[in-house]
Structure 1
């Protein structure tokens, strides 16, 4: 084999190997980059978080969880006072269903939607400030404004006992200090990765396609790898949902937990399906263009000359 031909073949093999390695690494970074970007630019943004959570105020499972939690809290605070004022210990049982019915009615009002958004905004702001200020402390939030809004709405609806609901500025813990430190470290890593992982994936993919000996095949491989990364991300979201709901202490609140999880991961699932659709569409387009190019070359090739027949000998 001539030296020049051998060198050309070695160069082509090296380009194949380098291109495959770069494209494989780029496709591996795709799901992790999408996940990091979702956390950094989705969950960490208060406006987007509140917007994602807002529709849950009309979800029956979420409303049921709110009724159980808020109703239990009101009964815990109000019933002992009624026992003291009315001098009847059995008033607790009479008050409990009434309070629950009142809270259930309140969850169907427009004021509840406003209180829901205000509460979510307050909690998100408190957690975000704790992640950014670097202090080790238990994250708390003052829900007195939300409670006051609930009390005012119940009073406007002429609900008895509404004026007895206490509005106290109590620091409600939402995140313990030991969990905050671990969460802060993860948040700092994701904040950096949310920008650099997608950029790195794009640069690696572009470089892999540029150095490939056959760029159409490199684009096809990149597209299929991107679709595979989207499918992997979609599977990870489904597994995460299952594990998250399994960790909930109360099975009765799992429908509400599932609704919250689905609302928060809606953008991530949409990105996953977009990666799958885009990757498959580009791969199909590459195969189609390759097929058309082959047909064009075949039709442009000159027809082979017919084989000459036997010549007759002259007489």
Structure 2
């Protein structure tokens, strides 16, 4: 193969490899990070102690309890009297060990339910899609028990029912299921293809040292692009939230879920720059050694007057 053609093919393979770096990392994160229930629960567990998350949970659960009270009890004074107690009790409950256990259990149940819905293969079930929901009754029961223990008036009359809160709407499940199937395939093959293209490009290159440097710099650029994707995704995600969803809590959840991506982006950036620097330094040292050898082997200049 002519050297020009080899150089062009090597450059194309290396460029394609570097282009796949951020997309491969995103796909692998979605397929093997978000789709693993144990990792998801472990990632979300520390958020039970975050003030923004606790406030969001307390406000949501407290509002649901008071809404049920309003539906069941047609007394305005009761709602006005009980409202502050319910609010304080829910906030107090979010600081207990029981809440942390309920938080982990709720995340595990929700994640399992979402995965079952996304991995469903029964065509008959697809015709009768149901939204993925979670039940707030256990948390409401804990709050009611705490209010009753604190002798809050009329606390025993708080209704505790199985309140289904939709996590994924039914109309979006079919599209999400197709996207999840694609991610599971891409999460494996995109990183593999990136490595294969890089190795093939370096092996095919006429000047392999330069090819290694180009691959390293491209990997660093891919890491930087991955970090940019995460930052832009955070802004777009928060901007697209419904009005009732608190942005501080959503931002904390987003940061926790994408922490691995940010770490990977910095690793790719650091690894790429390090390899490029080492390659350049070895070439520089080699050039210096060759120059010294040439000077040492060169004949001495003739003396003047000889």
Q: TM-score, normalised by structure 2?
A: 0.90
Structure 1 residue 71 corresponds to structure 2 residue 62 = yes
- Return the alpha-carbon distance in structure 1 between the equivalents of residues 304 and 106 of structure 2: 98
Give yes or no for contact 1:115–1:149 (8 Å, CA) kept in 2: no
**Aligned residue for 2:119?**
132
Say which is worse superposed, 204-213 or 139-148, in terms of deviation: 139-148
Distance 1:151 1:120, change over 3 A: farther
Matches within 5 A, 1:32-181: 32-83=23-74, 88-134=75-121, 135-136=125-126, 137=129, 138-152=131-145, 163-181=156-174
Unaligned runs of 5+ in 2: none
- Cα deviation, 1:93-124, whole Å, max 9, x if unaligned, reads 11111100110111111111111111111111
Say which is worse superposed, 15-24 or 127-136, in terms of deviation: 127-136
**1:166, CA displacement in angstroms?**
3.3
Matches within 5 A, 1:184-199: 184-199=177-192
Which has more radius of gyration? 1
Give yes or no for contact 2:220–2:272 (8 Å, CA) kept in 1: yes
- Return the alpha-carbon distance in structure 1 between the equivalents of residues 149 and 101 of structure 2: 15
**Aligned residue for 1:258?**
251
Distance 1:17 1:80, change over 3 A: closer
Q: TM-score, normalised by structure 1?
A: 0.88
**1:167, CA displacement in angstroms?**
3.4
User: Secondary structure at the residue paired with 2:162?
Assistant: coil
**Aligned residue for 2:238?**
245
Give yes or no for contact 1:79–1:91 (8 Å, CA) kept in 2: no
Say which is worse superposed, 235-244 or 145-154, in terms of deviation: 145-154
User: Secondary structure at the residue paired with 1:133?
Assistant: coil
Distance 1:34 1:309, change over 3 A: same
Give yes or no for contact 2:89–2:143 (8 Å, CA) kept in 1: no
Distance 1:16 1:68, change over 3 A: same
- Return the alpha-carbon distance in structure 1 between the equivalents of residues 239 and 184 of structure 2: 28
Unaligned runs of 5+ in 1: 1-9
Distance 1:35 1:309, change over 3 A: same
Give yes or no for contact 1:62–1:256 (8 Å, CA) kept in 2: yes
The aligned length equals 299
**Aligned residue for 1:203?**
196
**1:215, CA displacement in angstroms?**
1.1
- Return the alpha-carbon distance in structure 1 between the equivalents of residues 197 and 87 of structure 2: 58
Distance 1:151 1:118, change over 3 A: farther
**Aligned residue for 1:281?**
274
Give yes or no for contact 1:154–1:162 (8 Å, CA) kept in 2: yes
